C-alpha cells in the first residue's frame, strides 16, 4: 500500500478535481463519472443497481476479506459484525469543512475553506486514490424515488461496506439513474477510503487513511470525503447530503432540512397528529421516535428517527418526509428497558459496527442487558471480561438496519407526499431552569426556543460542570451555512404558512433534577403524557376543544393545573411544582448567556430573536416599586 504523498502523479496534477467539478455542474452523470475516474484511477468501475443480488455479492466479498464477520444465523439471522480501524470510529468534525465562496456564509460555527484552495488541496489526495480498487457508482434517492419532496444523489466510493450500507440507508437503484439521465438534478458525492493498492499489496479488512477530509461545496452542491470509511464520514447521503447540503438547498428553495425525528401520535379517539422533534445527542431522540406510550389507548408510530425535510404545502401547512430508508443507530444504551422497539428492529438483517461479540456468535454492548456476559471479544478483537476495565463496545458503535423492520413503523411512512405537521418540539438536557414542557407563544417565540437549545455539561463530559453547551435546532454540526441565517430562514418559512395550519411549537426537558440530583420526571414511555398535552393544545388552537389547557409564564405557556395527565405516577405536588418552576433570577442569568451567544453571530441574528430576548428579560425582571 502506498500513500499519495509518495505518488509523483499526485504532485503534478493540480486541475483534475476542478475538471470533475466542471462535469458535475453540467449535470451529465456519465461525463462526471468519467472525469472522476480519470482523477481517481480505479482498476474497475461498477454501476450499482441496488438489487438484492448485488448486495449478496458484496456481502460475500466482504466476508472473504474479513470486513464482515457473519453472526450466528439462529441468533441473529442475516446479520454481520464489522470492526473498523481504531483510527476511524466517528465523525471527524475538525476535518469537516463548509466551502462557500464567501466565508461569512459559512458562519462562525463551521470550518470554512476557500473553495478553490480546498479543491487544490483535495486534488493532491484524491489523485490516484482508488488505484487497485473498484469505483462503485451508487445512484440513490433521499426520499421515495421521484417524490415531490425527494432529491437524488450519486455517490462514488471504493468501499463495498459503504455500498451495502447505502442500500439500507437510502433508495439505491436503476430507477434513480433513469431519473437523473432524464434530466433530474443530483448531488455529486465522491468518497474514497484513501488507501490505494499497488500490485502485490495485501489489503486490510478496514482500509482508511490517517488523513481525512469531509468537504462540502454549497454552490455546486458537491461533497468530497477522503480517508474514512465510517458512518457519516462515508455514508454521504446522511449528514453530508441530507443536512449540510440539503439545508443550503432548502434555504435557496424555500424549505427546511432538519435534524429531527418524525412520529405519528394517535389518540384513543382515533385522531392522528404528526410531530417533528429536534434533540441534541444524548437527549432521548431515538427513544421518542420509537416510544411505547404508557397512557392507555395512545399509539406512537415511527416515521423517522433522525432527519426530516419540511416543505410548505399549497394549503399553507408544513409537510414533512423522512428522507432516509434506514436507521444508523448508536448501540450503547439501547436495551429492552430503554427502547424495546429498537431491540426488535435489529433482531435480523442488521450490520453492527464496533460492538462486542459473544461466545455464542451474537452481539453485545453496554446497556443491552443489565449484566455483561462473563467473556466477550471486544470491538478491537481482543478478549474481554467484566474485569477488563474498558468498554467492550465502542461508545459510538452502531447498527445499520432498514426502517421497514421497525415494529412501530407507520404503514405509510414512505408516502412521497409526506405528512402535515401539527407540532414541532425542541429539547435539550437541562438539570435546572427549563420546565418539563412549554408552548411557544408565537412562531417567532418557537424559533427563539430552537435557537437557544442547550444542554448542561456533566462531570462525564469535557468542559466546566454546569456550563451550557449550545446546539441550536440540534444543527450545530450539520447546518451548511451561517446558523443565524438558518434562524432567519425559519422565520421566512413560518411567514409563508397559514396561521390556521401552522404547527405549534414546544420545548421539552425530560432531565430536570431535584436538589439531591434525582430526575424529577420518569421519562421514557411516560413522555407520552407530555405529547398528549401538546396535541390537546393543537386541538384547542384548531377550535376542537374549548377548555383551558395552559397558563402563561415568562418562558411560554405551561400546562394548566390538571391539564397534564399524571395519574398513576409516583409524582407528588412538590416534584410537579419543581418541574415547572421558573426562577426569575436564574432566567435573568440565562438571558445574559443567550445575549453572549447571539453576539457570536454579529448582526446576522434576526431582529425578531432579539425582540424575544428582550421580552424574556422584561418578563423575569421584577417591576420597580
Cα–Cα distance for residue pair 256/263, rounded to 1 Å: 17
Domain spans, the chain: 4-66+95-254, 257-325+412-620, 327-405
Confidence of residue 625 (pLDDT cuts 50, 70, 90): very low
Kindly report the backbone phi and psi dihedral angles of residue 560, in degrees, each rounded to the nearest multiple of 5, phi listed first: -65, 155
| pLDDT tier at 466, thresholds 50, 70, 90 | low
3-state secondary structure of 86: coil
- Residue 433 C-alpha cell reads as 431552569
| Strands of the sheet with 351-353, listed across from one edge | 69-70, 80-82, 351-353, 398-402, 326-330
* pLDDT over 50 at 264, yes or no: yes
- pTM exceeds 0.75, yes or no: yes
SS3 call for 255: coil
What is the tally of helices (H) and strands (E) in the chain? 18, 31
Predicted pLDDT at 11? 36
Average pLDDT of the segment spanning 21-49? 95
Q: Which of 124, 135, 159, 157 is nearest to 4 (CA)?
A: 124
Per DSSP, the three-state class of 579 is: helix
Is it the case that residue 461 has pLDDT exceeding 80?
A: no
CA distances 394 to 62, 93, 330, 352, 355, Å, are: 21, 18, 10, 11, 6
Write the pLDDT tens digit of every residue in 574-613. 999 999 999 999 999 999 999 999 999 999 999 999 999 9
pLDDT of residue 468: 84
Residue 367: pLDDT band with limits 50, 70, 90: very high
Q: Give the per-residue pLDDT at 462.
A: 44
pLDDT at 460: 38
Secondary structure of residue 136 in the 3-state scheme:
strand
Residues noted as catalytic: 283
Q: Which fold has domain 257-325+412-620?
A: Phosphoenolpyruvate Carboxykinase; domain 3 (3.90.228)
Q: What is the pLDDT of residue 463?
A: 47
Collapsing DSSP states into helix, strand and coil, what is residue 68? coil
Percentage of residues of the chain with pLDDT beyond 70: 96
- pLDDT grade for 15, boundaries at 50, 70 and 90: low
Q: How far apart are the first and last CA of the chain?
A: 78
pLDDT interval class at 281 (50, 70, 90): confident
pLDDT at residue number 14: 45
Give me the phi and psi of 346, to 5 degrees please: -100, 20
Share of the chain residues as helix, strand and coil, in percent rounded to the nearest 5: 30, 20, 45
pLDDT classification of 457: cutoffs 50, 70, 90? low
C-alpha cell at position 577: 411544582
Cα–Cα distance, 87 to 520 (Å, whole number): 40
Mean pLDDT over 277-285 rounds to: 88
Residue 622 pLDDT grade (very low, low, confident, very high; cuts 50, 70, 90): confident
Q: Residue by residue, what is the 3-state secondary structure of 186-242?
A: EEEEEEECCCCCCCCCCCCCCCCCCCCEEEEECCCCEEEEECCCCHHHHCCHHHHHH
Between CA 193 and CA 212 the distance in angstroms is 9
Distance CA 232, CA 98 (A): 15
Nearest to residue 71, comparing CAs of 81, 61, 62?
A: 81
Strand pairing class (69-70; 419-420): unpaired
Express each pLDDT in 526-579 by its tens digit.
999 999 999 999 999 999 999 999 999 999 999 999 999 999 999 999 999 999
At which residue does the C-alpha cell 445499520 appear? 400
With contact defined as beta carbons under 8 Å apart, do 349 and 330 qualify?
no
pLDDT band at residue 188 using 50, 70 and 90 as cut-offs: very high
Write out the DSSP string of 16-61.
HHHHHHHHHHHT-HHHHHHHHHHHH--SEEEE----HHHHHHHHHH
Widest pairwise Cα distance in the chain:
86
DSSP state string for 474-488: G-TTT-SS-HHHHHH
Local structure of residue 604 (DSSP, 8 states): G
Angle between helices 52-65 and 160-169 (to 10 degrees): 140
**Crossing angle of the two packed helices 607-620 and 443-451, in degrees rounded to 10:** 90
Residue range 137-144: average pLDDT?
98
Segment holding 65, helix H or strand E: helix 52-65
| 105 HSE (CA, 13 A, CB side) | 19
What are the angstrom distances between the C-alpha of 180 and each of 21, 236, 505? Answer: 17, 18, 37
Q: pLDDT per residue over 304-351, tens digit each?
A: 999 999 999 999 999 999 999 999 999 999 999 889 999 999 999 999
pLDDT at 375 over 60: yes
Do 450 and 426 form a contact (C-beta atoms < 8 A)? yes
Under the banding of pLDDT at 50, 70 and 90, the label for residue 467 is confident
Element (H, E) at 390: none
pLDDT grade for 282, boundaries at 50, 70 and 90:
confident
Q: How many CB atoms lie within 10 A of CB 615?
A: 16
Mean pLDDT (the chain) is 94
Kindly report the CATH number that applies to the domain delimited by 327-405: 2.170.8.10
Percent of the chain with pLDDT over 90: 91
User: Is the pLDDT confidence value at 189 over 70?
Assistant: yes
The mean pLDDT value for 59-77 works out to 98
Question: What are the distances in angstroms from CA 247 to CA 111, 426, 475?
Answer: 16, 18, 10
Q: Give domain 4-66+95-254's CATH architecture.
A: 3-Layer(aba) Sandwich (3.40)
What per-residue confidence (pLDDT) applies to 623?
Answer: 65
Determine contact, residues 465/457, Cβ cutoff 8 Å.
yes
Residue 294 has which C-alpha cell?
404508557
Cβ atoms of 62 and 161 within 8 Å: the answer is yes
- Report d(CA 86, CA 354) in Å as an integer: 9
Our measurement of the distance from residue 242's CA atom to the centroid of its chain's CA atoms, rounded to an integer in Å, reads 9
Average pLDDT over residues 469-495: 97
Which of 56, 236, 241 shows the shortest CA–CA distance to 156? 236
Amino acid at each position: 500500500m502506498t500513500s499519495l504523498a509518495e505518488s509523483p502523479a499526485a504532485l503534478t496534477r493540480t486541475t483534475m478535481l476542478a475538471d470533475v467539478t466542471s462535469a458535475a455542474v453540467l449535470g451529465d452523470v456519465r461525463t462526471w463519472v468519467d472525469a472522476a475516474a480519470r482523477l481517481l484511477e480505479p482498476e474497475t468501475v461498477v454501476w450499482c443497481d441496488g438489487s438484492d443480488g448485488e448486495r449478496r455479492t458484496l456481502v460475500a466479498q466482504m466476508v472473504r476479506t474479513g470486513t464482515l464477520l457473519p453472526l450466528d444465523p439462529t441468533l441473529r439471522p442475516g446479520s454481520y459484525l464489522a470492526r473498523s480501524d481504531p483510527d476511524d470510529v466517528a465523525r471527524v468534525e475538525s476535518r469537516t469543512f463548509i466551502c462557500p465562496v464567501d466565508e461569512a456564509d459559512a458562519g462562525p460555527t463551521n470550518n470554512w475553506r476557500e473553495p478553490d484552495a480546498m479543491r487544490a488541496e483535495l486534488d493532491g489526495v484524491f489523485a490516484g486514490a482508488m488505484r487497485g480498487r473498484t469505483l462503485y457508482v451508487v445512484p440513490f434517492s433521499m426520499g421515495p424515488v421521484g417524490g415531490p419532496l425527494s432529491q437524488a444523489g450519486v455517490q462514488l466510493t471504493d468501499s463495498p461496506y459503504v455500498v451495502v450500507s447505502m442500500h439500507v440507508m437510502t433508495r439505491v437503484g436503476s430507477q434513480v439513474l433513469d431519473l437523473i439521465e432524464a434530466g433530474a438534478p443530483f448531488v455529486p458525492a465522491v468518497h474514497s477510503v484513501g488507501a490505494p493498492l499497488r500490485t502485490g499489496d495485501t489489503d486490510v479488512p478496514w482500509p482508511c487513511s490517517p488523513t481525512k477530509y469531509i468537504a462540502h461545496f454549497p454552490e455546486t452542491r458537491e461533497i468530497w470525503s477522503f480517508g474514512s470509511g465510517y458512518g457519516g464520514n462515508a455514508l454521504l447521503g446522511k449528514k453530508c447530503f441530507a443536512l449540510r447540503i440539503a439545508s443550503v438547498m432548502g434555504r435557496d428553495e424555500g424549505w427546511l432540512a432538519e435534524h429531527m425525528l418524525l412520529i405519528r401520535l394517535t389518540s384513543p379517539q382515533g385522531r392522528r397528529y404528526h410531530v417533528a422533534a429536534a434533540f441534541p445527542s444524548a437527549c432521548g431522540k431515538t427513544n421518542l421516535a420509537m416510544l411505547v406510550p404508557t397512557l392507555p389507548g395512545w399509539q406512537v408510530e415511527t416515521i423517522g428517527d433522525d432527519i426530516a425535510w419540511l416543505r410548505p404545502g399549497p394549503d399553507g401547512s408544513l409537510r414533512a418526509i423522512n428522507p432516509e430508508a434506514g436507521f444508523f443507530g448508536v448501540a450503547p444504551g439501547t436495551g429492552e428497558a430503554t427502547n424495546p422497539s429498537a431491540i426488535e428492529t435489529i433482531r435480523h438483517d442488521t450490520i453492527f459496527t464496533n460492538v462486542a461479540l459473544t461466545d455464542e456468535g451474537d452481539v453485545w454492548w453496554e446497556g443491552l442487558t443489565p449484566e455483561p456476559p462473563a467473556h466477550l471479544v471486544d470491538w478491537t478483537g481482543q478478549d474481554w471480561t467484566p474485569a477488563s476495565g474498558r468498554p467492550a463496545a465502542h461508545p459510538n458503535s452502531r447498527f445499520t438496519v432498514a426502517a421497514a423492520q421497525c415494529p412501530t413503523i407507520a404503514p405509510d411512512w414512505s408516502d412521497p407526499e409526506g405528512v402535515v405537521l401539527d407540532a414541532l418540539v425542541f429539547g435539550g438536557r437541562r438539570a435546572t431552569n427549563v420546565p418539563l414542557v412549554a408552548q411557544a407563544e408565537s412562531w417567532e417565540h418557537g424559533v427563539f426556543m430552537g435557537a437557544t437549545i442547550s444542554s448542561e455539561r456533566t462531570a462525564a463530559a469535557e468542559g466546566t460542570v454546569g456550563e451550557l453547551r449550545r446546539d441550536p435546532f440540534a444543527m450545530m454540526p450539520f447546518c451548511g451555512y451561517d446558523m443565524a441565517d438558518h434562524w432567519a430562514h425559519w422565520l421566512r418559512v413560518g411567514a409563508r404558512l397559514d396561521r390556521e395550519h401552522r404547527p405549534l411549537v414546544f420545548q421539552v426537558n425530560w432531565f430536570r433534577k431535584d436538589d439531591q440530583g434525582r430526575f424529577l420526571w420518569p421519562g421514557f414511555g411516560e413522555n407520552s403524557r407530555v405529547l398528549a398535552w401538546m396535541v390537546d393544545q393543537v386541538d384547542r388552537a384548531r377550535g376542537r376543544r374549548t377548555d383551558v389547557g395552559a397558563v402563561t409564564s415568562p418562558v411560554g405557556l405551561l400546562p394548566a393545573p390538571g391539564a397534564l395527565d399524571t395519574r398513576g405516577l409516583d409524582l407528588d405536588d412538590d416534584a410537579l411544582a419543581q418541574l415547572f418552576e421558573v426562577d426569575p433570577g436564574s432566567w435573568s442569568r440565562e438571558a445574559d448567556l443567550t445575549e453572549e451567544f447571539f453576539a457570536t453571530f454579529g448582526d446576522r441574528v434576526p431582529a425578531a430573536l432579539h425582540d424575544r430576548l428582550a421580552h424574556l428579560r422584561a418578563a423575569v425582571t421584577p417591576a420597580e416599586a
